[in-house]
Amino acid sequence: MHETRAELIFDARNVVGESLIWDDRRDRLVWVDIVGRRIHRLDPRTSTHETWDTPDLVTSIGLRADGGAIVGLRKAVTLWDFGGLFRTIETIEPDRPDIRLNEGVVAPDGSFWVGTMANNIGPEDTPIAITQDAGQLFRVGPGGDVTSLSEDRFGITNTMVWTQDGRFVTADTTKNAIYSYAWSGSSSRLDDRRLLFSGFQRGLPDGSCMDAEGYIWNCRVVGGSCLARIAPDGRLDRIVELPCSWPTSCTFGGADLHTLFVTSARFTMTAEHLEKHPHEGGLFALRPGGRGVSSNRFGQAVRDAAVGAGSVSTPSSAPGQTHQNKCAK
């Protein structure tokens, strides 16, 4: 049976919760708060919650084959071991200070794909209007090599999903469009761009995940308040309502990957709105039927020892802040 109602499971109050993944080795959810400059980890069974501060905007996170994480900051792609310092392996477009990283996901080949965008966060974390299509897609290999994946430009890069028929799906939030590209798995270039899904009037596309049937679950940010389940052919299959205005990222997790978890944001919302809707920025969950697929891990084919020259020495680790929180219903 499909659940049609999502419940708040953790009142995170993230400014911009993003990049939600399920760590199947630890049975934990991991995500970032971009503007809050913090990484979160949660055991949804016990509500044990850990947080770590980051030295700058933290835009994405992925799992590594050795048990650590790969993290996108404002400009740098870094290795991190859940408590240590952030070891930079590459800086993306260092000569363009007005560009920052956004979405980042580990690909099936064990590389880390990351998108960029014009910076939209001011010096005091105030919003800046985006006036140019400056975003691009890049691949960071396990050896630290960076490759541009396409000449296409995006307003805001979001969604990174690799389909069962060998295509790559990504979104441009500013265009309210989701695209599909051909990707062979042996090439670092994307081609044959096709419009997969566009014109949906509930918000704009943010992060997505794929289920075991090959359907894409897309978070509809900027007032969309829902998830859209999109069929492989681009048809809208289902809408699931959410108790938040700006859902941002989703992933399947829990026992047998049957639970769909969703992060959200409260960035730019007024005090009056937040007083009426205090759970904006929270973490939500539902069981929509079916199951998800496991996250890829960075360096799965080529172990992290191959990163080599691009990284700096490993620091001593420091524990996160651990909190016990009762589930909110």
Question: Does 322 score more than 70 pLDDT?
Answer: no
Which whole number is the average pLDDT over 57-84?
97
pLDDT one-digit tens code per residue, 229-261: 999 999 999 999 999 999 999 999 999 999 999
The CATH number linked to 272 is: 2.120.10.30
**pLDDT of res. 188:** 76
Could you count the other beta carbons within 10 Å of the beta carbon of residue 72?
A: 29
Is 1 a domain residue?
no
What is the model's pLDDT at position 312? 33
User: What is the SS3 assignment for 308?
Assistant: helix
Q: What is the domain range of residue 130? A: 7-317
Given a contact cutoff of 8 angstroms between Cβ atoms, the answer to whether 292 and 253 are in contact is yes
Q: Which of 104-108, 155-159, 164-168 has the lowest mean pLDDT?
A: 164-168
Largest CA distance in the chain: 52
Percentage of the chain exceeding pLDDT 90 = 84
Per-chain mean pLDDT for the chain: 90
Residue 325 in any domain: the answer is: no
Q: How many domains does the chain have?
A: 1
User: Model confidence at 300, in pLDDT bands (50, 70, 90)?
Assistant: confident
Query: What is the per-residue pLDDT across 78-99, written as a single tens digit (0 to 9) for each?
Result: 999 999 999 999 999 999 999 9
